[in-house]
């Protein structure tokens, strides 16, 4: 009887969803990667669309928002939380915002992947202004590879470009050239796309940087990290059916639904609900 009770308890733990949060839509690139890597897992996503962007706000405000986002997901009884926001991840580094659950940002998984990929130890990083000013990617890279040369640049127009659908063509190409020319001149062989919006511009960025430069998507790397963490904690869902995605936003579910397909690579496969998380 005790063994049966233990198995039942373990199954309940496995059946809980994975929580993901971001300041808006960008974290959906992490959801897409999770759906591909762990198709049986249920996912609960929170996009703080009422307060986007985080990247231009103060450190104190960003950390307050991140704590509120985390607490919201905890109310949904999730088994792990992913901070799929480059800005939040750059400020918290390896810190766990919830000691009771497995947790990861996107920074450390991306840094580990970049250090493994680089041949010349010249690594580029692009991100929001807050991410680049924090210097967190450079610090984390040098903790792994002391001789690495890190070249960073803020790309403040990338998020609004992606949010408004300008992911190819002359406008996207103009800003990619504007922001990435200084990095390309430094002959990096690896480039971290330090915001989860940026992989949507991956084709334009790859064309400009050239085929010899390896692009690192933090959302994809965070999904890989999550799969390993869930396996090590015996929390992988064992059901033989497709997981369910549920979405919460702090503003305009209709707008979120219209734009989500761009990040998910297909139509949104779940219900979108309005949630008032720390607004006001």
Backbone angles phi, psi at 245, to 5 degrees: -95, 135
Query: Is residue 51 domain-shared with residue 184, that is, in the same domain?
Result: no
Query: Is residue 151 domain-shared with residue 253, that is, in the same domain?
Result: no
The residue range of the domain holding 114 is 108-218
Query: Is residue 179 domain-shared with residue 143, that is, in the same domain?
Result: yes
Instruction: Report, as an integer, the average pLDDT of 196-203.
Output: 92
Place of tokens 């929390």: 235
Predicted confidence (pLDDT) at residue 179 exceeds the cutoff of 90: yes
Report yes or no on 160 lying in a domain: yes
Report yes or no on 138 lying in a domain: yes
Report yes or no on 248 lying in a domain: yes
Per-residue pLDDT, 12: 67
The pTM (predicted TM-score) of the whole model is 0.87
Candidates 34, 62, 85, 108; catalytic one: 85
Report yes or no on 126 lying in a domain: yes
Mutual angle of helices 28-37 and 218-232, in 10-degree steps: 50
Query: Is residue 52 domain-shared with residue 118, that is, in the same domain?
Result: no
115 is catalytic: no
Report which DSSP code applies to 155: -
Query: Is residue 154 domain-shared with residue 126, that is, in the same domain?
Result: yes
Query: Is residue 99 domain-shared with residue 34, that is, in the same domain?
Result: yes
Q: Which of 218, 236, 259 is the last residue of a domain?
A: 218
Query: Is residue 47 domain-shared with residue 138, that is, in the same domain?
Result: no
Give start and end residues of each alpha helix (H) in 158-277: 158-163, 169-184, 202-209, 218-232, 253-264
Query: Is residue 202 domain-shared with residue 171, that is, in the same domain?
Result: yes
Report yes or no on 280 lying in a domain: no
Report yes or no on 191 lying in a domain: yes
Per-residue pLDDT, 6: 45
Query: Is residue 146 domain-shared with residue 69, that is, in the same domain?
Result: no
Read off the CATH number of the domain in which 134 is found: 3.40.50.1860
Q: Which of 218, 234, 254 is the last residue of a domain?
A: 218
- CA separation, residue 67 to residues 80, 90, 109, 129, 280 (Å): 15, 14, 21, 20, 15
Residue pLDDT, tens place only, 40-76:
999 999 999 999 888 888 989 999 999 999 999 999 9
Predicted confidence (pLDDT) at residue 278 exceeds the cutoff of 80: no
Predicted confidence (pLDDT) at residue 219 exceeds the cutoff of 60: yes
Query: Is residue 91 domain-shared with residue 230, that is, in the same domain?
Result: yes
- Give me the chain's average pLDDT, please: 90
Query: Is residue 256 domain-shared with residue 160, that is, in the same domain?
Result: no
Per-residue pLDDT, 159: 87
Per-residue pLDDT, 280: 45
Residue pLDDT, tens place only, 124-178:
999 988 889 989 999 999 999 999 999 999 999 998 898 888 899 999 999 999 9
Q: Which of 201, 218, 235 is the last residue of a domain?
A: 218
Report yes or no on 204 lying in a domain: yes
Predicted confidence (pLDDT) at residue 111 exceeds the cutoff of 90: yes
Per-residue pLDDT, 266: 81
3-state secondary structure of 217: coil
Report yes or no on 279 lying in a domain: no
Candidates 195, 209, 216, 223; catalytic one: 195
Query: Is residue 74 domain-shared with residue 99, that is, in the same domain?
Result: yes
* Number of domains the chain is built from: 2
195 is catalytic: yes
């Amino acid at each position: 009887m005790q063994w049966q009770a233990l198995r039942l308890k373990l199954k309940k733990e496995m059946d809980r969803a994975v929580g993901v949060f971001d300041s808006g839509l960008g974290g959906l690139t992490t959801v897409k990667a999770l759906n591909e890597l762990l198709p049986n897992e249920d996912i609960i996503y929170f996009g703080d669309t009422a307060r986007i962007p985080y990247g231009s706000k103060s450190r104190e405000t960003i950390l307050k928002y991140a704590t509120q986002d985390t607490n919201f997901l905890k109310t949904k009884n999730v088994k792990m939380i992913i901070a799929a926001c480059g800005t939040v991840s750059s400020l918290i580094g390896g810190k766990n915002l919830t000691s009771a659950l497995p947790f990861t940002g996107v920074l450390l998984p991306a840094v580990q992947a970049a250090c493994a990929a680089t041949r010349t130890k010249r690594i580029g990083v692009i991100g929001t202004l807050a991410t680049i000013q924090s210097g967190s990617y450079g610090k984390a890279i040098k903790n792994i590879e002391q001789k690495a040369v890190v070249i960073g640049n803020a790309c403040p127009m990338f998020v609004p470009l992606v949010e408004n659908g300008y992911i190819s063509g002359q406008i996207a190409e103009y800003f990619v050239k504007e922001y990435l020319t200084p990095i390309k001149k430094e002959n990096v062989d690896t480039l971290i796309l330090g915001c989860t919006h940026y992989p949507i511009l991956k084709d334009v960025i790859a064309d400009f940087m050239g085929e010899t430069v390896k692009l690192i998507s933090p959302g994809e790397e965070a999904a890989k990290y999550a799969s390993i963490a869930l396996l090590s904690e015996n929390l992988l869902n064992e059901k033989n059916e497709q997981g369910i995605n549920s979405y919460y936003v702090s503003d305009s579910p209709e707008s979120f639904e219209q734009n989500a397909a761009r990040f998910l690579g297909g139509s949104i496969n779940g219900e979108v609900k309005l949630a008032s998380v720390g607004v006001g």
